[in-house]
Chains A and B, each alone.
Chain A
Amino acid sequence: MSFLIDHILTIILFSPLAAAAIVFFLPENQEKIIKWVSFALSLIPLGFTVALWFLFDRTAQGYQFVERYVWYAAINSSYHVGVDGIALSMVLLTTLLTPLAILASFNITYNIKSYMVLFFLLELGMLGVFLALDLLIFFVFWEFGLVPMYFLINQWGSEKGEREIWGGIKVPARNYASFKFMIYTMAGSLGLLLAIQMIGVVAGTFDIPTLFERWTSLDRSLFGLDISVVKAIAFWAFVVAFAIKVPIWPFHTWLPDAHTEAPTAGSMILAGVLLKLGAFGFLRLVLPLYPVEAQRYAPTLAFLAVMAIIFGAFASFGQSDFKRLVAYSSVNHMGFVVLGIAAAAYAMGGEDATIALNGAVLQMFNHGLSAAGMFFLVGVIYDRTHTRDLNEYGGLFPLVPVYGGILIFTSMASLGLPGLGGFISEFLVVRGSWPIFTLQTALAMVGLLFTGAYILKGIKQVLHGPLNEKWVGHLSEISPREIFVIAPLMVLMLWIGVWPSWILDLINRAVTALLS
């Protein structure tokens, strides 16, 4: 038992890998077995995470359940993992969304085995990033997660659509989107990779807690440049990599394509967890490693965040493709996360900063829930209508009342209706940032207005207005399996909205530690 507790993080991290291996050796044609076994296996990391949640000492400082083993001794990198409140909430989000996404994938017919294997590998990559306390290990998982996502989009993405690339050659849209996703992120990580190498060379270690002291206290000149210049360059290398992932305007252009073309479950994970990796990078690495630079460039970040909020909302409003609309909404929502982080970085301590950062982390969690839910609901309607064009829908509420109710509920959570999760986190962000970045926050509030506009537009076009006659008799109600997917998300949205302290306490302690 104590073995399990001592190694709980390793178990959580690698149980998806074991699951992938088990699924890999299942017979190819037994689709039903593959699906159910995968689902059952995906509950294991969730179970351990829940256990971790309760075992986690809310009063202690620093990282818990730390494990450290030699991995690449030659360059002083070790397998070092540990969790704090922020990481724990993200791990919970990941292990929670994965079984739901697998359940949402039961309608996949093409090569289900590979699909499940890739899904587990994806989970492995995401968990690794949240748990890593070694810069190199962090990067390992950071990059590794790309591969399964690429294939999920490329192989199981939407089958329709073509994109014209240079030279007039037409390629399937999912190939275009997956390629763009991969190259964009890899190019973004390039600066991160180089900066990590540089830090490793200069500091002689990749251990994150050690680096917090060693790297920040470095004051000799490097490569013939002043240390502040080197640090500024490295800061931006980190920021660009994470900004692409978040994504922060103007690095967001890969996102609508990738989200739109991905399979439903892929979109759920992509929006629910993958985007959080970028924000998590800011919290885990950028703020502690570059406090000075972060403070200096925080206004710029805040400006970009506001642009993301406003443009995201406008762009979303302008879409006629339901999935694209939801995709752009992610840009909009993640903007609040970045705004909170920027405000906290600028103030560096103080009550406002803590509030803003608490809001940002909670917003990460909430957006994980609501975006996953939204993408799932888009997937549900698409499966039945085989179109995502908003103009093709219309007045579907009478045909699918349960679905309609769920859609409205989830949309409201996304919009930030008081009583649901989104409200709490956005309120905290705005409350915290207001004294720090008053103008930017005010502009962001304008953006929030349009958030309401596009969400209502979506609801209206799908559920209300004149009934599009062609769906009558062709549209079946949401199935119990699908309800089972969305239900936990709805419960959590409501729970956080009503009584947020169960998670906020946890986050708050970590945030306080981060800012001190």
Chain B
Amino acid sequence: MQFPILSFIVFTPIVAALLIFLIPEDRKNEVRVAALAASAFALVLSIWVYFAYDVSRGGYQFVEQVNWLPALGISYKVGVDGMSVPLVLLTGVVMFTGVLISWGIDDRPREFFTFLFILATGVFGVFVSLDLFMLFFFYEIAVFPMYLLISIWGWKETREYAAMKLTLYLFVGSVIALVGALAMYFTAGLGTFDMLELEKAGFSREFQILWFPFIFLGFGVLGGIFPFHNWSPDGHVAAPTAVSMFHAGVLMKLGAFAALRVGVMLLPEGAKFHMGWIILLTLVNVVYGAFIASVQTDFKYVIGFSSVSHMGLVLMGFATLTREGFLGAGIQMFSHGVMTALFFAVVGMVYDQAHTREIPKLGGFRKVMPVVAVAFIIGGLVSMGMPGFSGFIAEFPIFMGVWKSYPLIAIVAAVSIVITASYVIRVAGRVFYGDLPAEFEGHVRDVNVLDKIALVFLSFILIALGVYPGWMVPWVESGVDTILRLLGGA
């Protein structure tokens, strides 16, 4: 038997969480070091699995299967394909940088890292599941720590409201999808939750048409699809920095990924039938999200709504049902994950110093924290799809896919690029340039070296992918091939 690397990845965080909880409460530094070590270990493992994945062979690799509940055909089955392995890498990256920039958390860091790592296990679990039950199992594990993380360590003004809103929204989405998944299980009559088996179940067209919207939109809630995106900006804003990073960086991908894996891949006929109107929803996401972002005065809300816009592009890529669309969406998931993690890290660093996020009250932060300013600009360029950065690599094929299926939508959606550019420039100008307000003079300090490492690391990935996409595109492409095969070579 080969080395069970995926299981190691999935269970590293939760084992770390347990160990961390055993450290005495007042040994805060030990807690942090342990958390950093664990996240570094997970990062190394995820990098390893990413590059060990054999692109030329494609398909699902590193598959492990253990019976879980044979009576119902539930098994613990993990494996990665080209679509999910970048997301595993993304999770490793965000987890590591999230721990780096959370060094300053002083209120019960032990509990903080415990919950954060439980969340990480859930996220890893979803990305590698090949069993429908297991997917839900880890999906929910990823949802509930979010509540505690936001409500305990979040922004005082809105944390209780936002945490509850977020949790309930996501829970509603997932349980609705769950009912659909159960219907799939029983209708297939194969007595298994194995998704690779269910792919071959041959569901009737009527069945697929009936259930596809439940599953796609149910998971789409977590992907921030309009009109169920409302939880996301509130949640982003209220969350503490590392959690925002996780939340926007990884968790929203969870929704999109599950919508793809369960919705599109298991119910391809349903997808073909419904995507015509779903793409309109995603169009609203893209344009409306960008527009709303551009009128926010709260720094973090700007980023929050920009995520709505960008995740709209991911779902739009799916909705095109074309090779280019899936390819772009797959890369966009990774690119947006890293980018938004970077953004939220920056917002957090500014807020920690300024104690306000009102854009008009900020200014001149470039002088005190130059690295942060550069990082924000890099993130901004990614988000406006500037060539040379990963956002362009991702968005370009998405638009090509849209051209293939709905040319008019491509034209309308493109407006978002200019809107995005305008708010990114505005925010960058207001927050980082101009004069430092007198009240901050002498009070604000530069970020510490760990923060800088995190920022540089994230920025580096964005540029590396933008300049040389060859280290990710073939991976995603091989995953797209599987999807297209299920869609009947569309």
Contacts and interface: CB of A to CB of B under 8 A. Distances in A.
Interface of A: 70-75, 136, 139-144, 146-147, 150, 154-155, 172, 175, 179, 182-183, 186-187, 190, 193-194, 197-198, 200-201, 223
Contact of A72 (B386, B393, B429): B393
Given A179-B429, A182-B425, A75 B396 contact: yes
B429 A71 contact: no
B393 A186 contact: no
Contacts of A200: 400
B262 interface: no
Given A72-B393, A187-B418, A197-B396, A179 B425 contact: yes
Nearest to B401: A201
B85 to A, nearest CB: 16
Contacts of B429: 154, 175, 179
A194 B410 contact: yes
Nearest to B468: A71
Given A155-B433, A197-B410, 17 more contacts: A72-B469, A73-B470, A75-B327, A136-B396, A140-B387, A143-B392, A144-B388, A147-B381, A179-B422, A182-B425, A186-B418, A190-B414, A193-B414, A194-B399, A197-B403, A198-B407, A201-B403
Contacts of B399: 193-194, 197
Interface string B407-419: 1001100110110
Nearest to B480: A74
A151 B388 CA distance: 17
Interface of B: 324, 327, 381, 384, 386-388, 392-393, 396-397, 399-400, 403-404, 407, 410-411, 414-415, 417-418, 421-422, 425-426, 429, 433-434, 468-470, 473-474, 476-477
Given A139-B387, A223-B407, A74 B417 contact: no
Contacts of A147: 381, 386
Contacts of B415: 190
B386 A71 contact: no
B407 to A, nearest CB: 5
A187 B104 CA distance: 42
B411 A74 contact: no
A155 to B, nearest CB: 7
Contact of B400 (A142, A190, A201): A201
The 5 A-B residue pairs with the shortest CB-CB distance in the complex, in nearest-first order = A140-B387, A201-B403, A143-B387, A223-B407, A197-B399
B414 A154 contact: no
16 contacts: A72-B393, A74-B397, A74-B477, A75-B327, A75-B400, A139-B387, A141-B387, A147-B381, A150-B425, A183-B425, A186-B421, A190-B415, A190-B417, A194-B411, A198-B410, A201-B324
B396 to A, nearest CB: 7
Nearest to A142: B387
Contacts of B469: 71-72
A179 B474 CA distance: 37
A190 B418 contact: yes
A150 B415 CA distance: 20
Nearest to B324: A75
Chain B binding surface SS class: helix
**Could you say which of B387, B397, B403, B414 has the most chain A C-beta atoms within 10 Å of its C-beta?**
B387
A198 B407 CA distance: 8
B436 to A, nearest CB: 15
Contacts of A141: 387
A112 to B, nearest CB: 14
A201 B399 CA distance: 10
A176 B130 CA distance: 53
A402 to B, nearest CB: 38
A200 B407 CA distance: 13
A155 B434 CA distance: 9
A75 B331 CA distance: 13
B393 A193 contact: no
A194 B414 contact: yes
A197 B403 CA distance: 7
Given A144-B388, A175-B429, A200-B400, A183 B421 contact: yes
A136 B421 CA distance: 20
A186 B396 contact: no
B11 to A, nearest CB: 34
A134 B392 CA distance: 16
A155 B469 CA distance: 31
A147 B425 CA distance: 10
A71 B465 CA distance: 11
A141 B425 CA distance: 19
Nearest to A155: B433
Contacts of A186: 384, 417-418, 421
A7 B443 CA distance: 52
B422 A193 contact: no
Nearest to A184: B418
A143 B417 CA distance: 12
A203 to B, nearest CB: 11
A73 B474 contact: yes
B414 A72 contact: no
A144 B417 contact: no
A139 B393 CA distance: 12
Nearest to A140: B387
Contacts of A71: 468-470
B362 to A, nearest CB: 15
Contacts of A75: 324, 327, 396-397, 400
Nearest to A194: B414
Contacts of A197: 396, 399-400, 403, 410
A182 to B, nearest CB: 6
A179 B473 CA distance: 33
B407 A74 contact: no
A136 B395 CA distance: 13
A74 B411 CA distance: 22
Nearest to A233: B411
B433 A154 contact: yes
A144 B422 contact: no
Nearest to B429: A175
A141 to B, nearest CB: 7
Contacts of B403: 194, 197-198, 201
A27 to B, nearest CB: 14
A241 to B, nearest CB: 13
B467 to A, nearest CB: 9
Contacts of A146: 386
**Could you say which of B403, B410, B474 has the most chain A C-beta atoms within 10 Å of its C-beta?**
B403
Contacts of B393: 72
B58 to A, nearest CB: 14
A139 B396 CA distance: 11
B386 A143 contact: yes
Nearest to A222: B407
Nearest to A72: B469
Nearest to A169: B360
A477 B384 CA distance: 46
A140 B433 contact: no
Nearest to A186: B421
B445 to A, nearest CB: 18
**Could you say which of A72, A140, A197 has the most chain B C-beta atoms within 10 Å of its C-beta?**
A197
A150 B407 CA distance: 31
B447 to A, nearest CB: 18
A397 B227 CA distance: 69
A409 B48 CA distance: 65
Contacts of B433: 154-155, 175
A180 to B, nearest CB: 11
A473 B358 CA distance: 50
